Amino acid sequence: MLGRLNHVAIAVPDLAAASAIYRDTLGATVTDPQALAEHGVTVVFIELGNTKVELLEPLGEGSPIAAFLAKNPGGGMHHVCYEVDDIIEARDRLKSSGARVLGDGEPKTGAHGKPVLFLHPKDFAGTLVELEQV
C-alpha cells in the first residue's frame, strides 16, 4: 500500500529563520512560503534528491501545530508523509484494520495540490502519519 517517503515535516516557531538555516547554512533549495488556511499552517519545502523536508509554522490561532509548539517551543519533527496510489482505498483498508483517520475521514487538499489524510499517532508507534495520493 505505501509508496515512497514523500516528506518529513518539522514544526518550527519561525519559518523565515528555519528556512534561512536550510538555505544559507546547509545550501539547500527552499521553496517560497505557502499558506494553507484549511490546514492552519504556512509551509516551505526543502528540496532534496530523494525526498523533501517540510517546515511548517502555525497560521492563525486555531492551528493544529500550535499545541505541538507549546510543548516543543524550539520545534521538532511533526509527521512523516508517505505516498499512496489510491487514498480512498488506503483509508478504507486502514479503517477496517482499526486505524484511526483524523478529522472527518475525508481527504483534504494538501500543499502539493493532492488529496491527503492524517492517521492517529497512537496507531503508528507514536508518529503522526500523513498519506498523500500520487
| Catalytic annotation, residues | 130
Between CA 41 and CA 113 the distance in angstroms is 15
Q: Which helix (H) or strand (E) holds 84?
A: strand 76-84
Nearest to residue 11, comparing CAs of 130, 99, 113?
A: 130
Nearest to residue 8, comparing CAs of 40, 41, 49, 56?
A: 56
Q: Which helix (H) or strand (E) holds 116?
A: strand 115-119
* 8 A C-beta contact, residue 90 and residue 82: no
